């Protein structure tokens, strides 16, 4: 009797496992067939090819984790070494992060031998985080290129704050988690495609490749989604607006500190979007973008006045025809053009001449 | 480390290996020691110094529990109980409610035209504090009520409070539900393992596929539900989506907690029992966050008088209990309002019951009241999710707007795909409870488990933190 009960239990478990296996196998086969027929509706772990001679940190957008900051701040990977060796460091918020593209920066380095590293992050951080990096790793480049867009502030973004507070162990765990997750998902989806069904951001993960050698954005797969609603950069306008007394004090102190370590500061201004009413009309249907437009609060040219006040050299470029993909950040073509134009002007500056002379 | 992480996967596999290696039979002290160490590592992995809070709470309650049991003097017994409650509630008030109370005092004083700028402290809320303080407190209260005897070993008591499967977001386990299991003979059985894996897979499915995908829509569109004159379809869809998100998020966590505990040889209490088929408010609270609702029933509602005494006393007890239940979820007026809605609903239902409204066997009345209950629950979620009362009231008002906003409504529509698993789950439970179909058998679980596992691999959303982590 006892034996027949355990046999029946065993049979039920066996049957359940068989049903499980068959169902799962059918799902897998049907999923692959669906992917073959509708590749745009199912992602098979493929991403655009990148230059294999560079190293990248792949960051997934919309996941609320600033892996690039974690790696840089805690010296995980080789990014911070590249920043330490750089002759020119770029600082600022997301605008220079999107504006200085890897391809153009690498071309400049190959041509001149001047090593550039983009330390700007895409999370709205400015001086406070930049100083934390500089002090943590004793960064002393010959030249600092600062994008003046509320740069001289002591505020940290939530990501910057989290990065500084989390500690090495947490940063390491999060970074490892991220890398492992990418690795596993990349391979998993070769067999089990990721479906777009019901997904607000589609089946393909939105990613940014950030070069660990230049710190610049090398590749992303989301700007094309905005191609139909690009926003031109703001028109040149003269404004009296400049730094607040507190910002001025912070800026002068920072300038003095950098001068003491032999670092020359150059200001720049990455062009960005406009709250022009014609575009507002185009965007009004998408509330998220509408909010972005409403936030385009001031023309970027205030940096002219700021540079004079701080007695710092300024490099700006002709932004005619440049566009932003979201009202705030340059799209790929404009960013490449900006980077080329910026370094062309930079090479003509006295600071660059000194730098080139010092090179063997 | 979150349950939804590779760190946790590796951590859990190590602990599971320990279970196979150290604890397959009766003499399991090393196994319990390993579980305690693992639980401390788990909690310390968030912020190490929070361990001090955990140790403080458990030392005070362990000591108070013994003193209460040893003492015959009612005054002493009460004093030690007060000590335990003060320590636990003190921590909770300090970390969770200090800024809220400070802001509230400013608001109240301004009503009397006293201008006072309330200070604001930068205090981070230690993860899981609302859960482990309640759990630890219930231990001393149960000893005071002579329902249980104090645990002899501090380390076993500590393991009861900090066992990693339920530490962060429940279920809120009572001492009598878990402590005895430490001595229980455990065997490794295939069926138990399969059940544990099924619970984990279903928990991951509801969290990563249902809750996370819906969460993307809710997070993106919630503020638009509050926009001026937004057509009703948008806030209504958002409210339905959020009700499924919060259910799936918390159900997912509870299932994973139960599944991991099961694999380690422990049984945790059920926390959710298909709340959206509840046909009365009272029933809803026997199905939603069961361990919290029974906790507040036993340790708050009944001490306040419970069902005894005059109508007014019962109503007051209900209102106070539900307001505090709302406040437990967060130090904000929106949560208090959510508690208020449920309190009023329970009071109203009680009045109807007293007047014989439910004694009529009419199907129409039952269906009508079911709709009222579920609609009220939905309205409650608006307040629960909103950033402030203003936003909540705008969304609520928009529910009665006419017109149609195809652009926004269509943008939200795909999110409704993820409501289907919640619907199926509830429909299956309804039919089973009515006796129309049998309870799921193991073969059916094999089929559903395969679908959920495949869904997990192919439909997971952006990983959002568990909603109940913030409580």
ipTM of the complex: 0.85
**pLDDT at residue number A48:** 73
Kindly state whether A354 is in contact with chain B, defined as any CB-CB distance less than 8 angstroms. Answer: no
Kindly state whether A24 is in contact with chain B, defined as any CB-CB distance less than 8 angstroms. Answer: yes
Residue A356 in this model has a pLDDT that exceeds 90 = no
Closest-approach residue (CA) in chain A for B451: A24
Kindly state whether A155 is in contact with chain B, defined as any CB-CB distance less than 8 angstroms. Answer: no
Is residue B281 domain-shared with residue B299, that is, in the same domain? yes
Handedness of CA B305, B311, B317, B322 (dihedral sign): positive
Kindly state whether A5 is in contact with chain B, defined as any CB-CB distance less than 8 angstroms. Answer: no
Residues β-bridged to residue A88 = A116, A143
Does B453 fall in a domain?
yes
With 0-12 / 13-18 / 19 or more C-beta atoms within 10 angstroms meaning exposed / middle / buried, residue A350 is: exposed
Residue labelled with tokens 């070769």: A190
Q: Report yes or no: B196 and B262 within 8 Å, Cβ to Cβ.
A: yes
Mutation for testing the B interface, residue in A5, A14, A20, A161 having most B CBs under 10 Å: A20
Is residue B170 domain-shared with residue B209, that is, in the same domain? no
% pLDDT > 90, chain B: 59
Q: Which of B133, B155, B188 is the last residue of a domain?
A: B188
Kindly state whether B245 is in contact with chain A, defined as any CB-CB distance less than 8 angstroms. Answer: no
Q: Which of B188, B221, B255 is the last residue of a domain?
A: B188
**pLDDT at residue number B456:** 93
Count of residues making up chain A: 360
Q: pLDDT category, A285, cuts 50, 70, 90?
A: very low
Is residue B167 domain-shared with residue B24, that is, in the same domain? yes
Is residue B341 domain-shared with residue B224, that is, in the same domain? yes
List Cα–Cα distances, B340 to A355, B284, B327, B384, B388, in angstroms: 69, 15, 10, 11, 15
Instruction: Calculate mean pLDDT across residues B60-69.
Output: 94
Inter-chain touch B414–A20, beta carbons under 8 Å: no
Instruction: Calculate mean pLDDT across residues A140-146.
Output: 93
- Dist CA B370 CA A187 (whole Å): 47
Residue A277 in this model has a pLDDT that exceeds 70 = no
Q: How many domains does chain B have?
A: 2
Q: pLDDT category, B231, cuts 50, 70, 90?
A: confident
For residue A98, what are its two tokens?
A: 């999107």
Is residue A6 domain-shared with residue A146, that is, in the same domain? no
- Dist CA B333 CA B346 (whole Å): 20
Residue A31 in this model has a pLDDT that exceeds 60 = yes
**pLDDT at residue number B156:** 92
Does A176 fall in a domain?
no
Is residue B37 domain-shared with residue B105, that is, in the same domain? yes
Closest CA to A76 of A163, A196, A193: A163
Is residue B240 domain-shared with residue B348, that is, in the same domain? yes
A325 is in which domain, residue-wise?
Answer: 86-154+212-358
Describe the strand order of the beta sheet including A116-118 as a list of residue ranges. A116-118, A88-91, A143-147, A264-268, A314-315
For residue A11, what are its two tokens?
A: 């049979």
Is residue B178 domain-shared with residue B270, that is, in the same domain? no
For residue A35, what are its two tokens?
A: 């992917």
Handedness of CA A246, A251, A254, A255 (dihedral sign): negative
**pLDDT at residue number B466:** 56
The torsion of the CA quartet A177, A180, A185, A190, rounded to 10 degrees, works out to: 180
Does A198 fall in a domain?
no
Does B321 fall in a domain?
yes
Residue A236 in this model has a pLDDT that exceeds 50 = no
For residue B73, what are its two tokens?
A: 């003097």
Inter-chain touch A197–B417, beta carbons under 8 Å: yes
Q: What is the DSSP string of A13-43?
A: HHHHHHHHHHHHHHHHHHHHHHHHH-GGGEE
Kindly state whether B458 is in contact with chain A, defined as any CB-CB distance less than 8 angstroms. Answer: yes
Using a CB cutoff of 8 Å and minimum separation of 24, what contacts does B5-11 make? B5/A177, B6/A176, B6/A177, B6/A180, B6/A181, B6/A184, B7/A173, B7/A176, B7/A177, B7/B45, B11/B38, B11/B41, B11/B42
Q: Report yes or no: B311 and B355 within 8 Å, Cβ to Cβ.
A: no
List Cα–Cα distances, A198 to A163, B354, B417, B468, in angstroms: 33, 46, 6, 24
- Dist CA A268 CA A291 (whole Å): 26
Q: Report yes or no: A285 and B407 within 8 Å, Cβ to Cβ.
A: yes
Is residue B249 domain-shared with residue B164, that is, in the same domain? no
Closest CA to B233 of B377, B401, B373, B415: B401
Does B34 fall in a domain?
yes
Widest distance between CA atoms in chain B? 71
Is residue A28 domain-shared with residue A93, that is, in the same domain? no
Does A322 fall in a domain?
yes
Does A255 fall in a domain?
yes
Q: Report yes or no: A159 and A129 within 8 Å, Cβ to Cβ.
A: no
Chain B residues lying within 8 Å of A15, measured CB to CB? 442-443, 446
Task: Give the residue with greater pLDDT, B230 vs B25.
Answer: B230
Chain A residues lying within 8 Å of B450, measured CB to CB? 19-24, 27
Is residue B146 domain-shared with residue B265, that is, in the same domain? no
Cis link prior to A196 (omega < 30° from 0)? no
Q: What is the DSSP string of A189-236?
A: HHHSPEE-TT-TT-SSPPEEEEETTT--EEEESSGGGGGGG-EEPPPP
Is residue A32 domain-shared with residue A90, that is, in the same domain? no
φ, ψ for residue A333, nearest 5 deg: -65, -45
Mutation for testing the B interface, residue in A174, A189, A198, A285 having most B CBs under 10 Å: A198
Kindly state whether B414 is in contact with chain A, defined as any CB-CB distance less than 8 angstroms. Answer: yes
Instruction: Calculate mean pLDDT across residues B159-170.
Output: 90
- Dist CA B140 CA B426 (whole Å): 37
Q: Report yes or no: B374 and B279 within 8 Å, Cβ to Cβ.
A: no
| Partner residue facing A201 (CB), from B216, B223, B449 | B216
Is residue A29 domain-shared with residue A101, that is, in the same domain? no
% pLDDT > 70, chain A: 84
% pLDDT > 90, chain A: 36
The H-or-E segment that residue B351 falls in is helix B333-354
Q: Is B329 a catalytic residue?
A: yes
Q: Which of B130, B158, B188 is the last residue of a domain?
A: B188
| Window from A227-231, B19-23, B286-290, B437-441 with minimum mean pLDDT | A227-231
Task: Give the residue with greater pLDDT, A108 vs A230.
Answer: A108
Residue B310, classed as helix, strand or coil, is coil
Kindly state whether B49 is in contact with chain A, defined as any CB-CB distance less than 8 angstroms. Answer: no
Catalytic pick among B66, B166, B329, B342: B329
**pLDDT at residue number B446:** 94
Is residue B302 domain-shared with residue B281, that is, in the same domain? yes
Instruction: Compute the nearest-CA separation of A19 from chain B (Å).
Output: 6
Write down the mean pLDDT value for chain A: 82
**pLDDT at residue number A307:** 87
Inter-chain touch B442–A27, beta carbons under 8 Å: no
Does A119 fall in a domain?
yes
Kindly state whether B198 is in contact with chain A, defined as any CB-CB distance less than 8 angstroms. Answer: no
Closest CA to B120 of B134, B106, B137, B139: B106
Q: Report yes or no: B229 and B392 within 8 Å, Cβ to Cβ.
A: no
Instruction: Compute the nearest-CA separation of A216 from chain B (Å).
Output: 25
Is residue A279 domain-shared with residue A141, that is, in the same domain? yes
Q: pLDDT category, B289, cuts 50, 70, 90?
A: very high
Closest CA to A319 of A303, A307, A301: A301
Kindly state whether B461 is in contact with chain A, defined as any CB-CB distance less than 8 angstroms. Answer: yes
Compute the radius of gyration of chain A from its Cα atoms: 25
Chain B residues lying within 8 Å of A284, measured CB to CB? none
**pLDDT at residue number A287:** 43
Residue A217, classed as helix, strand or coil, is strand
Does A73 fall in a domain?
no
**DSSP character for B124?**
P
| Window from A42-51, A105-114, A117-126, B379-388 with minimum mean pLDDT | A42-51
Query: How far is C-alpha B267 from the chain's CA centre?
Result: 17
Is residue B237 domain-shared with residue B180, that is, in the same domain? no
Task: Establish, for the pair of chains A and B, how many residue pairs have beta carbons separated by less than 8 Å.
Answer: 98
Q: How many domains does chain A have?
A: 2
Residues β-bridged to residue A208 = A59, A220
Query: How many alpha carbons lie under 13 Å from residue A208 in its C-beta half-sphere?
Result: 23
B388 is in which domain, residue-wise?
Answer: 193-470
Residue A56, classed as helix, strand or coil, is strand
Does A32 fall in a domain?
yes
Query: How far is C-alpha B126 from the chain's CA centre?
Result: 17
| Partner residue facing A20 (CB), from B417, B446, B458 | B446
**pLDDT at residue number B270:** 93
| Window from A227-236, B84-93, B212-221, B366-375 with minimum mean pLDDT | A227-236
List Cα–Cα distances, B425 to A297, B81, B422, B437, in angstroms: 49, 42, 5, 13
Closest CA to A354 of A309, A317, A313, A305: A313
Handedness of CA B92, B96, B98, B100 (dihedral sign): negative
Does B1 fall in a domain?
no
Is residue A106 domain-shared with residue A250, that is, in the same domain? yes
Residue labelled with tokens 């799962």: A24
Chain A residues lying within 8 Å of B418, measured CB to CB? 198
Q: pLDDT of B108-141, one tens digit each?
A: 888 888 877 878 877 788 888 889 999 999 999 9
Residue A63 in this model has a pLDDT that exceeds 70 = no
φ, ψ for residue B164, nearest 5 deg: -60, -20
Residues β-bridged to residue A265 = A144
Task: Give the residue with greater pLDDT, A305 vs A152.
Answer: A152
| Partner residue facing A193 (CB), from B7, B451, B458 | B458
Instruction: Compute the nearest-CA separation of B404 from chain A (Å).
Output: 14
Residues β-bridged to residue A195 = A42
Does B291 fall in a domain?
yes
Residue labelled with tokens 């015959």: B72
Task: Give the residue with greater pLDDT, A4 vs B46.
Answer: B46
Is residue B124 domain-shared with residue B154, that is, in the same domain? yes
Q: pLDDT of A187-233, one tens digit each?
A: 889 999 999 888 777 777 788 889 999 999 988 887 777 766 666 66
């Amino acid at each position: 009797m006892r034996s027949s009960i355990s046999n029946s239990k065993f049979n039920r478990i066996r049957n359940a496992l068989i049903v499980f296996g068959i169902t799962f196998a059918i799902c897998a086969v049907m999923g692959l067939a669906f992917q073959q027929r509708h590749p745009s509706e199912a992602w098979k772990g493929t991403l655009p090819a990148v230059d294999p001679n560079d190293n990248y940190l792949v960051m997934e957008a919309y996941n609320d984790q600033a892996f690039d900051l974690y790696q840089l701040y805690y010296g995980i990977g080789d990014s911070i070494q590249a920043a330490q060796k750089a002759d020119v460091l770029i600082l600022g918020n997301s605008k220079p992060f999107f504006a200085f593209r890897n391809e153009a920066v690498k071309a400049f380095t190959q041509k001149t031998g001047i090593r550039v590293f983009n330390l700007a992050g895409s999370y709205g951080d400015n001086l406070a985080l930049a100083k934390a990096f500089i002090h943590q790793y004793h960064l002393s480049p010959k030249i600092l290129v600062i994008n003046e867009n509320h740069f001289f502030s002591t505020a940290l973004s939530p990501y910057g704050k989290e990065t500084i507070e989390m500690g090495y162990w947490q940063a390491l765990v999060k970074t490892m988690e991220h890398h492992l997750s990418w690795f596993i998902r990349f391979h998993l989806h070769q067999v089990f495609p990721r479906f777009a069904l019901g997904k607000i951001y589609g089946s393909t993960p939105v990613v940014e490749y950030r070069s660990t050698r230049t710190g610049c954005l090398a590749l992303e797969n989301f700007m094309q989604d905005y191609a139909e609603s690009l926003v031109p950069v703001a028109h040149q306008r003269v404004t009296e607006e400049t730094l607040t007394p507190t910002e001025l004090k912070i800026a002068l102190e920072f300038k003095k500190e950098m001068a003491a370590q032999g670092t020359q500061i150059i200001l720049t201004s990455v062009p960005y979007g406009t709250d022009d009413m014609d575009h507002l009309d185009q965007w009004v249907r998408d509330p998220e973008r509408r909010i972005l437009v409403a936030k385009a609060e001031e023309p970027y040219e205030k940096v002219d006045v700021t540079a004079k006040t701080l007695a710092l050299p300024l490099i700006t470029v002709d932004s005619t025809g440049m566009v932003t993909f979201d009202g705030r950040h340059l799209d790929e073509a404009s960013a490449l053009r900006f980077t080329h134009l910026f370094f062309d002007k930079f090479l003509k500056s006295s600071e660059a001449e000194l730098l080139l002379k010092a090179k063997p | 480390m979150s349950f939804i992480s590779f760190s946790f996967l590796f951590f859990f596999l190590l602990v599971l290996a320990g279970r196979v290696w150290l604890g397959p039979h009766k003499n399991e002290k090393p196994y319990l020691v390993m579980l305690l160490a693992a639980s401390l590592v788990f909690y310390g992995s968030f912020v190490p110094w929070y361990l001090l809070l955990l140790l403080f709470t458990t030392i005070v309650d362990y000591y108070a529990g013994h003193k209460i049991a040893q003492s015959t003097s009612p005054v002493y017994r009460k004093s030690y109980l007060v000590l335990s409650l003060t320590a636990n509630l003190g921590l909770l008030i300090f970390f969770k409610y200090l800024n809220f109370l400070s802001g509230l005092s400013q608001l109240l004083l301004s009503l009397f035209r006293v201008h006072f700028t309330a200070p604001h402290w930068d205090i981070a809320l230690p993860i899981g504090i609302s859960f482990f303080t309640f759990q630890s407190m219930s231990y001393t209260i149960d000893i005071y009520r002579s329902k249980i005897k104090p645990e002899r070993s501090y380390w076993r008591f500590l393991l009861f409070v900090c066992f990693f499967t339920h530490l962060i977001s429940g279920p809120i386990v009572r001492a009598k539900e878990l402590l005895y299991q430490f001595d229980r003979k455990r065997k490794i059985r295939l069926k138990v393992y399969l059940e544990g894996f099924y619970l984990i897979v279903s928990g991951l499915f509801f969290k990563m596929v249902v809750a996370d995908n819906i969460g993307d829509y809710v997070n993106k569109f919630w503020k638009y539900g509050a926009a001026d004159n937004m057509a009703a379809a948008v806030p209504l869809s958002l409210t339905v989506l959020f009700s499924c998100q919060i259910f799936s998020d918390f159900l997912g966590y509870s299932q994973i907690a139960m599944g991991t505990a099961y694999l380690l040889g422990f049984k945790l209490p059920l926390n959710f029992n298909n709340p959206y088929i509840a046909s009365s408010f009272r029933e809803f609270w026997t199905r939603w966050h069961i361990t919290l609702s029974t906790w507040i029933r036993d340790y708050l509602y009944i001490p306040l008088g419970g069902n005894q005494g005059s109508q007014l006393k019962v109503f007051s007890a209900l209102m106070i209990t539900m307001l505090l239940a709302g406040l437990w979820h967060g130090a904000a007026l929106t949560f208090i309002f959510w508690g208020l809605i449920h309190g009023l609903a329970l009071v109203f239902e009680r009045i109807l019951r007293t007047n014989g409204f439910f004694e009529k066997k009419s199907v129409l009345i039952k269906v009508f009241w079911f709709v009222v209950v579920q609609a009220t629950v939905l309205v409650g979620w608006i307040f629960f999710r909103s950033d402030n009362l203003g936003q909540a009231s705008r969304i609520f008002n928009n529910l009665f707007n006419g017109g149609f906003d195809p652009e926004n409504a269509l943008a939200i529509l795909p999110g409704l795909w993820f409501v289907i698993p919640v619907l199926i789950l509830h429909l299956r439970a309804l039919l089973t409870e009515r006796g129309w179909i049998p309870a799921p058998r193991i073969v059916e679980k094999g089929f559903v488990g395969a679908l959920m596992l495949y869904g997990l691999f192919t439909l997971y959303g952006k990983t959002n933190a568990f909603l109940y982590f913030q409580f």
